[in-house]
Amino acid sequence: MDDTAATLPSPAALARRTRLTALIVACALFMQNLDSTVISTALPTMARAFGAEPVHMNVALTSYLLSLAVFIPTSGWIADRFGARRVFRAAIIVFTVGSVLCGRAESLSFLVAARVLQGMGGAMMVPVGRLVLLRTVPKSELVAAMAWLSTPALLGPVLGPPLGGFIVTYFSWPLIFDINIPIGILGVVLVTLFVEDVREPLETRFDWTGLALSAVALTCFMLGLETAGRGIVDHWITAASLGLGLLAGFGYWLHARRHPAPLIDFTLLRIPTFMVAVLAGTLFRIGIGAIPFLLPMMLQLTFDKTAAQSGLITFASSLGALVMKPVATGALRRFGFRDTLVLNGVVSAGLLGIIALFRPSWPVLLITAILLVGGFFRSLQFTAFNALAYADIPRPRMSAATAFYATMQQVSMTIGVSVGAASLAAAMALGGHAQPQLPDFTVAFLVVSAMALLSVPASLMMPRGAATETSGHRASRPL
């Protein structure tokens, strides 16, 4: 990426290009994040409409996330084969069509199918957009670029919970999907006018065998996690799904060792900063990924809040994330990647654990303040992981790194929802509760906060002076 910086006319021109590209990509992220947070608030209402149990509605979240995880690995190769602009634009169209179909769903099974279609569009939309950005900025601008990319996109989570709660309380739930239509149209226009058609020369054919093996592994493994201990299907089906998923995963590992350009390139893990970003980031996201599923449901089912009220409370977490973005660059320059990830990881996991202590008697202002502060620190952690992942990646391997990292992001968020749902179901079973009770949510939040805390020792595997060119930090600087 350094040679790219040398070809730019001036730092001012570089900054303008970075901002413009980041804002266009953020338009796609906004649509995706708005969609995911809107539906989380509406799940209890949608469960009543479909005649389903609320605790089973997490399949509407995990089906979308799993579809992302299955198809994201193909994004880098497809972008280089057909051009980033064409793929980015087509992905927005597919995502928007999937949103329209979601709003027409009359059953949970139809909704899940439409969410899978949405996931296919999202699998191309966000990674390809990020790839465009990564190929136009030097390492020294990477943290700033990620902040520019994330800030507008965070408006989705900020607006999603209160908007979703308002819609399902005063209108009807299909409208939560129809709001993607004007955003999708705007995204297509902006991509057509301003996004460069960047690509790298392809020297290998598409890894169809890798796609088949990784798809079977991810689908079966996640199906096993979804059904484990919840009485949805027979136990042998769960066991068979987990076994087949592990077997397919092992088969992919053997295949990747022999293939010259595997769909998911495990040799990227030999780059220390990328390995830490993947390992620690995955553990952290598993913990955080359960929040959109657990928190709105807890507020509505045990705090007697309406969907609109729970949305207004939940959005504080995303608002805190939005406030953090302007200070990300300064924090990483002051403390560096390792110290930031370690200290901030402890704080973030602790604030997530405090949610387990929430009770209906607590003042709403106090609950909102805790969620706001938690969102602030979690967002700093995500920004650091995202910048660290690409800090030492050579430009020719950027497509592979983007596909790998984005896949792990979605897998971890999918596992997070599944872990949250499984923990809640297990607590209900142990307590003999037919419907989720407040102590069940307490157990679930303690479990996911422990998962987030596991990212701290993983972050310690990285030297204190890692990726200083990206962070601007110097290890010798007194702390």
Predicted pLDDT at 77:
82
Instruction: Return the pLDDT at 276.
Output: 94
212 domain residue, yes or no: yes
Residue where the block lists tokens 């499984």: 422
Q: Kindly report the CATH number assigned to the domain that includes residue 186.
A: 1.20.1250.20
Taking CA 445 as the corner, what is the angle to CA 439 and CA 448, rounded to the nearest 5 degrees?
Answer: 145
Q: What is the Cα–Cα distance from 40 to 303, expressed in whole angstroms?
A: 17
Looking at the fold, whether 248 and 101 belong to one and the same domain comes out as no
Reported as a single tens digit per residue, the pLDDT across 23-39 is: 777 777 777 777 766 77
Q: For residue 472, give Cα distances in angstroms to 19, 143, 272, 330.
A: 20, 10, 18, 9
Q: Are both 212 and 194 inside the same structural domain?
A: no
338 and 417 both lie in a single domain: yes
Q: How confident is the model at residue 156 (pLDDT cuts 50, 70, 90)?
A: low
Predicted confidence (pLDDT) at residue 149 exceeds the cutoff of 70: no
How far apart CA 127 and CA 185 sit, in angstroms, is 19
Domain assignment of residue 171, yes or no: yes
- The CA–CA distances, whole Å, from 53 to 57, 89, 122, 183 equal 7, 37, 27, 32
Confirm whether 282 is domain-assigned. Answer: yes
- Whether 477 shows a pLDDT value over 80: the answer reads no
Structure tokens of 301? 């089912």
Instruction: Judge whether 6 lies within some domain.
Output: yes
- Residue 322 and residue 254 share a domain: no
**Residues 396 and 421 grouped into a single domain:** yes
- Confidence check: pLDDT of 360 > 90: yes
Instruction: Tell me, yes or no, whether 477 lies in a domain.
Output: no
Question: For the CA atoms of the chain, what is the radius of gyration?
Answer: 21
In a domain, 63, yes or no: yes
User: Mind listing the pLDDT tens digit for each residue in 287-296?
Assistant: 988 887 888 8
Per-residue pLDDT band at 3 (split at 50, 70, 90): very low
Domain hosting 247: range is: 208-258
Kindly give, in sequence order, each residue whose CB lies less than 8 Å from that of residue 205, ignoring residues fewer than 6 positions away: none
Q: Would 222 be classed as within a structural domain? A: yes
- Between 22 and 122, residue with greater pLDDT: 122
- Tell whether 215 and 128 lie within a shared domain: no
Instruction: Identify whether 479 is part of a domain.
Output: no
Q: Are residues 34 and 73 in the same domain?
A: yes
What is the average per-residue pLDDT within 142-167? 68
Least confident interval from 83-92, 124-133, 192-201: 192-201
Count how many domains the chain has.
Answer: 2
Q: Across residues 326-334, what is the average pLDDT?
A: 80
Cα 158 from chain centroid (whole Å): 15
The whole-angstrom separation of Cα 307 and Cα 296 is 8
Average confidence (pLDDT) over 238-254: 91
196 and 223 both lie in a single domain: no
pLDDT the model gives residue 119: 87
- 104-110-112 Cα angle (round to 5): 110
Summarised one tens digit per residue, pLDDT across range 205-239 is 888 999 999 989 988 887 787 676 555 667 788 88
Residue 314 and residue 298 share a domain: yes
Please tell me the predicted confidence (pLDDT) of residue 313.
84
Q: Are residues 40 and 71 in the same domain?
A: yes
Among 1-15, 98-112, 188-202, 360-374, whose mean pLDDT is lowest?
A: 1-15
Question: Does 218 lie in the same domain as 319?
Answer: no
Statement to judge: residues 11 and 98 lie in one domain: yes
